[in-house]
Every structure is written in C-alpha cells, then in structure tokens.
Structure 1
Amino acid sequence: MQIENTPTLSIEHSAGGAAQSVMASGVWQVHALSQKGLLKRINRSFTDLKKKPSLAWDLSQVDSIDHIGAQLFWNAWGKKRPSQLKLDPRQEELFARIEKAGSHTLPRTRVSPLNWIIVLGAGLLSFFEHLHGFIELIGRLVQDLGRFIRRPATGPWREISANIYHSGFQALGITALVGFLIGVVLSYLSAQQLSQFGGDIYLVNILGMSIVRELGPLLAAILVAGRSGSSITAQLGVMKVTEELDAMLVMGISHGYRLIMPKVVALAISMPLLVVWTDAMALIGGMASAKIELGLSFRYFLQKLPDAVPLINYIIGLLKGMTFGMLIALVSCHFGLRIKPNTESLGRGTTTSVVTAITVVILADAVFAIIFSGVGF
C-alpha cells in the first residue's frame, strides 16, 4: 500500500542537460521514507547530486518533515547549507538545530605515553585492596570459629548441614562422571606408552600416584569452584542486591557467623569426602581401561595399589581437599560481599570469583607440591 504524499524529488535541467535546481515535495517523515525501496532510490539520487554543489534547492513545497528527512538533506548537502536554498519558515528551526549540532566537536583525548604506569598502579592498588579484604575476612572467620567452639549449642548447625548437602552431596554426580572419564583417559594413554617398553605392571604406580596425590584433589576442587563457588557468590550477591544483608545487620545477625562460617566449614568437611569419591571413581575408570588395554585384572590392581601408593599420599590428598575447600569458600564469599546492587556487577563478580578460586587452588596445589616434594615417594 502506497502512503499518500510520498516524498519526491523533481530535478530541473538546463538547455544543455545539466541539473540546475532540485525541488522536494511530499511528506519527508520516517513513516513515509520507510516504504519498500524508496529510501534506496532517494539515497541514489542524493549520491548523484552531491557532485553538483552549485545546485539550487527548494524545500518550500514539502508538506512536513522530521529529523530523519532533514538529516537526509543535510548529508546530501555535505553537512552545510547550500548557497541557493529556499525553505519554508517552519523548517528553519529544524535545520538550524541540525546545523548547530554539527558544529560541536568532541574534545580530543590525549593518551599519555606513561599511561601504562597508571594502569599498572591501578591494578596493584586493586590487588592490595582485595588482599586486605581477604585477610580481614579470614580474621572474622577465625573469630566466628572461636565463638562457635566456645558455644557449639548456639551454632548454625542447620546452615552447615544445608551447605554440606548443596556443596557436597549434590556434587557427587558430576565429580564421579568426570573422575571416571579422567581415569579412563589417563589409563588408556599410559598403557599405550608402557606396553611399548614392557612396563605394564607400572601402570598401577602411575595411576595411583597421579590420581590420589594430584589429580583427584585438584579435579574435585576445580569442579566445586565452578559449581558451588559460583553458587555461593551469586547467593550473596543477590542478597546484597535485594538488601537482605542490610536487613540482617538491622536485626543484629552477623554475616560471618550465619553466612560465611557455615559455608567454609561445610566445604572443609565436604571436599575431603569428595576427594575420596573422585579418587575412587578415577581408579575404577583406570582399572576398567587397564583391563581392556593390558588385561590387568581388578584383583591385581587392588593388590598392588597399597604398595604403589604409600599411606601418606592419601593423607596429603585429604589435606589438600580440606585446604582447597576452605579457599574456595573464602574467595567466593569475598567476591559475593563486594558485589554492587546491580545485575551487571552480579554477573561480573560471579565470573571473577570462579576464575580467582580456580587460580588460587592451582597456586595452593603448587605450594603443596613444594612443601611435600620429598614426602610419599
């Protein structure tokens, strides 16, 4: 359906065929310009007319025009009034505003050659600010633990139990699946290499030491950091956005005692158990792959495992799990309490929390490797 008063351009030519004047008529508003194919034809005509700056323009026959239509003419004129222009008095104000807006230029921002020092300084200040807040959070946790030990009857047992369920029990499925698959892959790759040198019997040593001492705790911690760590940060962030944390303070309820300490204690209890669970699933996957690849029976695998992996490695694995769990909970709570009351900060804080928790876990694992480098071999 064609709209009435369609915008049109009439071009008058001289005797030699050159264009002398352009007269516009009709409705030059967005609803009229949106007709199918019309805007392309008008832009094509304007492109041809841009090469003729001496043209006379007559817009007095235009019935109505808005900013969209006026901007089309302004762009066709090269963003300046043509020398020969006839306007309706009602159009003067509109084009005057466009001309005034085009005269403003944005200030040029100079980038200092020493800008990297400013960026580096801001990064260092942010790092030490986070470090100060993290140490302060640990201090409050120690005070809350002391209060909990002195008066265990008034402690947040229900919150601890709920967090053990959410962070520990509900993570059994994903840790079992990933642990089993990692055991299968590691056993399969190791068996291919060992079979070339006749060292099939050493597969138990490789799987046992790598899974019990390193992969089991680290894998469980990374999964919990991505799953439970993000949940903790998002929960505290939403409570910050909805002002529930402020309401708790008004009612005299401590954030640390009712929110942070239960999460830290729950993950300190859950993580060693998840490490044992992940180790078991990974070893089962490794045994299944060894049975298929090398023909090693389950009985042989279980008989050789205690000799291949000294008891101290299990203790180191459990100690790692407890430490990783506490670090994940502390990092998640730290970033959750720093979220600002807006959705953008919530998403950015949750992402930063997960990345930081995984980084801290890997750094802690490196520290464990250095401290216990001569133990358990």
Structure 2
Amino acid sequence: MRTILITGPGGSGRTTLAAATALAAAAEGTRTLVLGTDRTDTLGAALGVPTGPAPVQAAPRLTAWRPDAAQDFRKDLTALQDRASTALDLLGASRLDPEELTPLPGAEELVLLRALRDAALSEEYDTLVVDLPPAPQAVALLALPEELRRYLRRLLPAERQAARALRPVLGRLAGVPMPAEWLYETAGRWDLELAAVEAVVADRDTVVRLVAEPGPAGAEALRTAGLGLALRGLRTDLVIANRVLPEASPDTWLAGPVAQQRKTLEEWRESYDVRTAAHLGHDPRGTDDLTALAVPGVQPAPPAADWPVTDRLGEDGVLVWRIPLPGAIREELDLVRRGDELVVTAGRFRRIVPLPSALRRCTVDGAALRGGELRIRFVPDPGLWPQSR
C-alpha cells in the first residue's frame, strides 16, 4: 500500500489538500482511504460529507475515516482495569466507569497511530492518505513508536522477560514482589503494536507531503519541518504551495505578494519537487472545489533516505558518517556519544540512533556541517580495532 502523510504549518490548508490528494488518487483508479485527525470535522467540511468513527463513502473509490479518540481511550482503559482487577482490589481502589473517562494528554496521538497501523494493514485499500497534525507535532508523532519501543526495552529488557519462568523464585529470594505476568504480556503486546506502526512509517512506499503557503512564514516552517523529517529518515515526495495567487492578476495591489511568492517558489524548487494549488478566492468545499485545486495523487516514491559510512581509512585514517540534514543551522546542532548510540539534536528535534557496527569500535574525532549534510568523523580505537600484521 502507498501511504501519503500530509502535514504543514497550522492554517496552511493541509486538511483541504489531504482531501484533494485522496480525491485525486481515487480518480486515478486506486481504492483510497483518507484518515482525518482533527477533533472538529474539517475533513468532512472539505469533502462535503460528514466524517466520524464509522468510515463513510465520500466519492467513488474514496472512503473517509476520522477515529474517535475519546471512545477508544475509554475502551483501552476499561480493558486495562479488567486485566489489573486483582491489584486494584488489593489496593481497595474503586473502578472508573467508562462514562466518566475523558482522554488524557497523548491519548489522541496513540489512537491516531493505531488507526494508521490498522488502515495500512488493511487489504481493502491501495492508497492511504493521512491528514497529520501541524508539522512540529507531526514529527513528534511519527517519532513516538521508535521512542516508546526504546523506553520499553530499557524498562523491561529482553533478559528480564526471558526470566519470567523464574519470577516466583526470584521474588522469594529478593523479598519483594516481582512484576506480574500480565505486565510482561502487556509490554510485549505494546511492543508488537508499536513495531507495526514503525514499520508503516519506515516503509519504502510511505512518503511525507508538505503543505505551505509561499511566503516568509511558510518558508521558515518548511525549513523546520524538512529538518525534523530528515533527522527521522523520512522522505518528502512533494511540497504543495497552497493558495497561490495568479501571476497575471489585474489588481496592482497584488503585485507585491505575487513577487514575494514567486521568489519563495524559486527557492523551494532548488530543494524540492514543488506543485502549486491555486487560491480559489474562498475555502474549498466539496469535490468540485477539491478537483479544481489540481493536486497530484500518487507520485513515484523518491529514493530511500540513506545515512552512508564513507571509508577514508586509507586516505586520512577516518570513517565518516554522513547524515543528510537539509536546513540545519550549525549553531543549533549538538552531538553526544553515549555508548553505542549517538544523540543528535537539530534545532527543536532530537533523535537517539544506534551507531553502525563499524563505528562502535571508534571514537568521535569531530563533525562538520556542509551543504545540508552532517559529516561525523570517527577514528578507530586501537584497543578495539583489528590490527593489520
């Protein structure tokens, strides 16, 4: 399945263009599902069809779905109470009724990730279009499966899970209660679910499509979003410049904004494949307006993001790890080596990545940012590196 994740700065019209993209994909003959994330039905307003927890037919070969975070949160927490009933009874805790439960912060993100996984694994559709939150939140959302899996591995490492059969004996020896079996089972189930979402995000047929208005604010938002996505190794297939004013406008007062958008578009085209969606003079509503935007549907996926290690041992005795970070600013970069991991900070974004096996036997010798690429130099550690004879 092709998955198109659409994001951009708030107010850029990303929901409208997500609907237009899904409509274009369906018009190309693919069975398409568009997944909405807003609490309010902005997706339904754009399509002209109300959307909600039950998928609805929005156009030929196009289905729209907007999961209910509150409903799913109540269902999950009720199930958790049932599984932990023994512990709750021992503590004298009273149960929470489903009717009194409201989603906690972060619940909507988890519901969206689960919906993304379920939709991507479905055999009913050929194309999935996801209307993500605004760009900074979208990057954090897409990073969540990887981060949560890392936390689970630290809290319940594999070697401790392997010792589950010895739990009663260890409990008597240590004199303290050991984690219950349901905790390991829950952690294992969460890990599988998160791994499935992570696989969807990292799939070669998954791309991110950025939406922004051509202007100074849109340009800065695009730079920030592109940097966060690159740090996560996610690929951008297109940038859609939204609400583009006509070049041949008879209104003289539009000359300044038109010139500014032209300059911005020229700069964007140096780094991205840019398409434009015209300003219709009103908020697009219904399939006719969405079709008039002439937004592309499914496009060929760009090459997979690559972080290669360059062997320069024969030239100057180093290995160089090359990490593409377009839009990065030198003053906003930070690197920390921690064991076999590297903590990379770029602006507001941070990622902890495992070092390639060859670099684990090396020490960091320096780093430089050149042409939107971070190049980290590693020198072999004599105590760990095989010596030539």
TM-score by length of 1: 0.22
Instruction: Please state which structure has a larger fraction of its residues in strand.
Output: 2
Between structure 1 and structure 2, the one with the greater Rg is: 1
With structure 2 as the length reference, what TM-score do the two structures score?
0.21
- Larger % of helix: which? 1
